[in-house]
Amino acid sequence: MTEFKIRIADIPISVKANYEFTKNYCRDYLTDEDGIFEVIITKDDIEKERIIAEKHNLDEGEKVVDYSDELHETTALYRKVLEELIKHDAIMLHGSVVAVDGRAYLFTANSGTGKTTHTRLWLENIEGSYILNGDKPIILFRDNKAFACGTPWRGKENCGVNEILPLSGICILERGEKNSIEKISFKDAFNILMMQSYHPSRNNGTLLSMQLIQKLNSVNTFRLKCNMDREAAFVSYDAMSKKETTTFEEVLNSTGKLLYKNVGVSMMPLIREGKDIMIIEKEPLNNLKKLDAVLFTRPGVIGRGAYVLHRILKVNKDGTYWIVGDHCFGGETVKRENIIGVLTGVVRDGKTISINDKNYKFYVHLWCDLYPIRFIILRIKYFFKYPKYVSNIILGRMYQKYKKIQSKFRK
C-alpha cells in the first residue's frame, strides 16, 4: 500500500493506493497538505473497473482489452475522487478544455465528433493557446463563478496542465460542411451537458449533478458546426472570446441596484480607492436634493472619467446641480438627465453603512457645511503638492486679468 496526497480542483485529498504507478500518474498534483477527505483503493475496486472496461468494449463492439491492474487503479481513483468532489461543488464534464489569455473554453460532443481535431486546430492557429485538460476536466464553482480545473486524467493524448482558470465559454461541437457558430440558450444545452457530466452512484447522484450543471447557466454556451479546416478554429475563437460589456445604466435598469469599487480619490475620506464598495440605486430624479451623492455621466468622455460619483452642494434654479467631490475644491454643473443613480450605502471593511446612519449624516453635514474652509485647505494642499501646476494656473489667470485691464485702458 502506498500513501500520498493530491490537490485537485483546489481541494486536498489523501489517497491510499496499491501501486506506486498511481502516485506517479498523479505526480503533477502531489501536495503536502492534509486531505479534507480520504480515498482508499481496494482490490475489489480494481476488479470492478476491469468489469466496467470489458462491458464498455463489448457495448461499443470493440475488442476487449486486458488493461493492467495499475491502470485500472488510476480509473478507480478517478471515480472515487469524483464521488466526493461533488459534495464540494465540483463536477467532471467530459470534454477538452483549451486555454488562452487566462481564460478557459470547454468543447464537448459525442464521441467521434472531432473534439481532439478541433482543439488541435486551436493549438496550431490561435497564438498562446494550450490544452488545460484533454478529456476529463473538473468544473469548480466558487462565488457564483465556474472554473475549469486540470486533472491527471487527460485522455489518450495525455494533454493537460495543473491549472485553474475561469470558464469563459462552453461549445457543443457538431460536424458540418461549413463552419458556423451560434450562441444558444442554457436550456438548449442542458441535456447534452447532463449527458457529458459524471453522476455519482449514490441514490441522489443524478440530482446532485443536475444542481451543479444548473450553475453553468452563467457561462456563455455555443453550438459550433465545423469541418476540419483551420477556419473552424478562428470561427469558434472569435465568437467565444468576445467580452460582453454591460454599462452601469443597463445594470441599474435591469436590477435597480449597482455595486462597484471606486476609482480615484475624489470622494475621500468617505470612500477609499479600490477598497470600499459603493451601493448605487436607481432613484426618481425629482427626489434629488442637496447633499445627495449621485452617479452621473460626462457626455463625450470615454473610459476613466465617463462615470463620476460626487455630491450635490446646490440645486440651481434652472434644474441643474452644482456637484463637487468630497475631496475636491472645484465642482461642475450637471444636468438632471446625466444623473443615473444615487448613493444609498457604502460597504467599508465588510460593514454596510447606510446613508440614513446618524454617523454618515454627521459626516456629510460637517464635511459639506465647512466647504469654504475645505476649499482653502485643499487649495493650499494642492499648492504644496503640485506647486508648478498651481502656480501656472494662478499666473495664467493673473495674466488674463492684466490683458482685460490693458484692453480697457487702450479703449
Tens digits of per-residue pLDDT, 376-387? 655 555 455 545
Measured CA to CA, the distance from residue 100 to residue 108 in angstroms comes to 17
Instruction: Say if CB 309 and CB 261 are below 8 A apart.
Output: no
Q: Which amino acid is at 88?
A: H
Residues of the chain with CATH 2.10.109.10: 248-369
pLDDT at 303: 54
User: To which residue does cell 502531489 refer?
Assistant: 30
Task: List the single range of 141-145, 257-261, 302-306 with lowest mean pLDDT.
Answer: 302-306
How far, in Å, CA of 295 to CA of 263, rounded? 13
Q: Are 115 and 145 in contact (CB under 8 A)?
A: no
- Distance in angstroms (rounded) separating the CA atoms of residues 345 and 41: 54
Cβ atoms of residues 59 and 192 within 8 Å: no
Task: State the span(s) of the chain assigned CATH 3.90.228.20.
Answer: 89-244
149 vs 2: CA distance, rounded Å: 25
Q: Cα dihedral angle (212, 108, 94, 61), rounded to 10 degrees? A: 130
Burial call 61-71: b when 16+ CB within 10 Å, e when fewer = eeeeeeeeebb
Mean pLDDT for all residues in the chain = 84
Predicted local distance difference test score (pLDDT) of residue 400: 62
> Is the model's pTM score more than 0.85?
no
- Read off the pLDDT of residues 226-244 as tens digits, 9 standing for 90 and up: 888 889 999 999 999 876 5
CA 321, CA 189: separation in Å to the nearest integer? 50
| Residue-level pLDDT at 331 | 84
Average pLDDT estimate for 11-40:
95
CA-nearest of 154, 146, 153, 167 to 99 is: 167
On the question of pLDDT at 141 being above 60, the answer is yes
The string of pLDDT tens digits covering residues 325-343 is 888 767 899 999 899 999 9
Residue 16: pLDDT band by 50, 70, 90 thresholds?
A: very high
Per residue in 95-134, pLDDT (tens digit) is 999 998 888 999 998 877 778 889 999 999 998 889 999 9
**Whole-number Å distance between alpha carbons of 376 and 83:** 67
pLDDT at 25: 95
Instruction: Report the phi/psi class of residue 322: left, alpha or beta, with left for phi > 0 and alpha for psi in -120 to 50.
Output: beta
Of 222, 236, 155, nearest to 192 by C-alpha is 222
pLDDT score at 66: 84
Q: CA–CA distance from 219 to each of 105, 109, 167, 239 (Å)?
A: 10, 17, 7, 14
**pLDDT per position as a tens digit, 52-105:** 888 878 877 888 888 899 999 999 999 999 999 999 999 999 999 999 888 899
Q: Which CATH number fits the domain 248-369, given the four candidates 2.40.30.10, 3.90.79.10, 1.10.10.10, 2.10.109.10?
A: 2.10.109.10
- The CATH number corresponding to 89-244 among 3.90.228.20, 3.20.20.120, 3.30.450.20, 3.30.465.10 equals 3.90.228.20
Q: Say whether pLDDT at 411 is over 70.
A: no
What pLDDT digit, counting tens, does each position of 343-375 carry?
998 888 767 888 998 888 888 888 777 766 665
